[in-house]
A and B are shown apart, each in its own frame.
Chain A
């Protein structure tokens, strides 16, 4: 049978260097992020075929588990909503702030977000404990304090995400709105609706993080579904059983993230994220200014409580130096892991971001594959990684130094892909076409045109990746190579020992490291891309 000529044309087009590279990078991305799922899936299948799996118990939701699920959803919804509302109020204040101050605020928030949530919980618990002497009715257990601490722990991340959402809106549209109506009208009817899809995505991410966390609620005696999964995992010792128990929570989180996904896909196009907003300062009604002040106070209280708690608990410089010096190995390894995750994730995530942009079934499949790993509990991801990488084929990787990097790539590269996808929608595609026509070669096109255009997205994604990787515990602990640990593992070890001074010292160190890393990245970006017409320097401001 004769093969049509058009098939060969299509085949040759597909085989171009650029397409091959793209397919390869994309393949590696999807392999890395789905490797835990593949491992868990094969284990589940094996257990089912062996007949050692009782499917009825985990899949049938008893009233107890339904209540736990409802409680988890309720807590996560409340925390995510409170985070977004506070974020919206606070970020609306940054309307006229200069880029230098904006960068400083964002760096400070990034540093706060890098502190493990459990430390936030202990600081607040200690404060509430000491306040009960003066305020006897203050709750020290239950849902109220669980909500408050979870909200406070996620507040820095919520503000960062809200800032991304607001920065996604073309501010020219808002300025036009301000000409024809009040600032409040422009805020309510232009800025909020245009940023709503990205705010929805931020809600989804916060919901997901909160839903999979049991450490804070269990510290305050509030039981959530994630704790039940761990209890079943602990009782059975079977990842297959734990996977089945996790299924309802996975389903809920997938639904929420899919809903957020449709929001992200409808984002409007806009020039860039770090641009300076020009125009006159907005004038909001008094009630709204009052709400903004409350949001500011909340953030200041959080910063004050956390830092004063850490500084007071550390006690003196000697304790700080001692805690850092004994954890030097962990410190170095943690920084290397974070750097490795950023270096591996960003190019892979960029390819995935292009794939997420695809219409129809292809895009839907890509979205499903990107979102699914986000819904898997951390320790199950770790076990899935072992089941996948400890197989005879890829066994040279496990249990090497790269495993904690790969596990964080598996958990967080999808988030980087979504962030880069959001940014990709802001870039004018004609610029890429022009580059393809006028640039002398593929490499020059990438370095001179594409990288500078992607730089703000890379910066934001790198920051979020570093924060999430530095705080990761559940999955890293399961795959950490013998003889090596991370800073978070050391912190949790100290916590059990009751060495509060050392724990606080190490948390301060994480904060300082994040600030330094952020400042260095900004400095490098500035040095590399300064010059006429560069986005990072001019911020889109006409020269």
Chain B
């Protein structure tokens, strides 16, 4: 190889390195006003909210999204690992369990948003460490080709009813995500012994325990399962794409326990690098108009206030909700998860 080739090799290496560095530098990073939001709300729903906020305020949102596949170990554990030098300003969660965990770990700071003034009292933390708003409900998604209306399930107890073979029913792993919160709510409501028997029964009946609520939805929509327990946003997605499914809200009859409604929660991070922008963002998210737009996009089915848009995929009028305290549910989550790991992962 002669000197020319040496120079050729050198040029290729230099060009590659320069392209890489230039590209890394050219990626936008240093906007003047930014807010860092960690969110477990699906990107397809939260991204339009961020864009609208940017257009209105001029503050750039730098988002970090979670994905279902990481079993909720992603963002919350990242926030805990970052506690000594926080990088996030705001945590916006699609449920409340993880937010209460962060409060317990002293990751959150108190902030009372003026936008929360018209929210019902149960949606606000006593110390203002978090604020809840519009949510999703736990529902059955039923395949209408597999079951006739008189066969539709109407209670969570139908999951252990011998009328339905276990292999035709689906539930996500109850140690993760909103199913974990629902399980903790059932433990809180029914008591440890009864709830443990209930979930042991589900496990013994070989109910199909799958990777997430979206998988429950897909398996029911594909006809691989007759029905399954999932969240309203997942179920509505299948209804709106014309799948042969129907949504049933469980336990609505007199004397039944009602269904769990899981609100969104938003919180300020203690030691947030951009506290002013963070508060502006929290005010924006808690605004009635934002809640309306989230109902319109399909993320929220059970609004916490009167909003203009009405959920179209299901009738939410007079939904009976579980009478439980968020704090009680949270307090029970560690023991519940420990129990459910023993029951379901084996």
Contact = CB atoms under 8 A, between A and B. Distances in A.
Interface residues of A, number: 77
A490 B12 CA distance: 32
A482 B81 contact: no
SS class of chain A's interface: helix, strand, loop or mixed?
helix
A141 interface: yes
A402 interface: yes
A395 B73 contact: no
A235 B237 contact: no
B70 A129 contact: no
Interface stretch (B16-24, B111-119, B260-268, B311-319): B16-24
Interface in A383-431: 383, 386-387, 390-392, 395, 398-402
Contacts of B78: 382-383, 386, 478-479
Contacts, number: 200
A340 B209 CA distance: 39
Contacts of A483: 28-29, 34, 36, 60-64
A208 to B, nearest CB: 20
Given A228-B341, A495-B68, A448 B175 contact: no
A477 B72 CA distance: 11
A340 B73 contact: no
Nearest to A524: B12
B32 interface: no
A141 B74 CA distance: 27
Interface residues of B, number: 80
Interface string B252-270: 0000000000000000000
Given A231-B71, A336-B20, A528-B5, A496 B63 contact: no
Nearest to A329: B27
A223 B346 CA distance: 6
Interface stretch (B84-92, B192-200, B275-283): B84-92
Interface string A455-485: 0000000000000000001100111111111
Nearest to B241: A498
Contact of A492 (B38, B67, B105, B167): B67
Residue in B6, B44, B62, B345 with the greatest tally of chain A CB atoms within 10 Å: B345
B109 interface: no
Given A383-B77, A448-B6, A482-B63, A235 B70 contact: no
B338 interface: yes
B211 A447 contact: no
Interface in B72-109: 72-74, 76-78, 80-82, 84-85, 87-88, 101, 105
Contact of B81 (A67, A343, A387, A528): A387
A108 interface: no
Contacts of B346: 64, 67-68, 223
Contacts of A238: 80
B337 A234 contact: yes
Interface string A188-229: 000000000000000000000000000100110101000110
Contacts of A132: 224
B70 A473 contact: yes
B1 interface: yes
A333 B286 CA distance: 32
A233 B85 contact: no
B74 A477 contact: yes
A473 B69 contact: yes
B87 A484 contact: no
B238 interface: yes
Interface stretch (B129-137, B145-153, B157-165, B214-222): B214-222
B208 A141 contact: yes
A493 B65 contact: yes
A211 to B, nearest CB: 16
A18 interface: no
Given A237-B77, A447-B6, A481-B62, 12 more contacts: A68-B346, A215-B69, A221-B208, A237-B76, A336-B23, A390-B82, A390-B84, A398-B87, A401-B29, A498-B218, A498-B234, A524-B12
Interface of A: 64, 67-68, 118, 126, 129, 132, 140-141, 215, 218-219, 221, 223, 227-228, 230-239, 332-333, 336, 339-340, 343, 379, 382-383, 386-387, 390-392, 395, 398-402, 443-444, 447-448, 451-452, 473-474, 477-485, 489-490, 492-499, 524, 528-529, 531
- Top 9 A-B pairs ranked by shortest CB distance? A483-B62, A482-B62, A235-B337, A492-B67, A386-B81, A448-B1, A482-B36, A493-B43, A496-B68
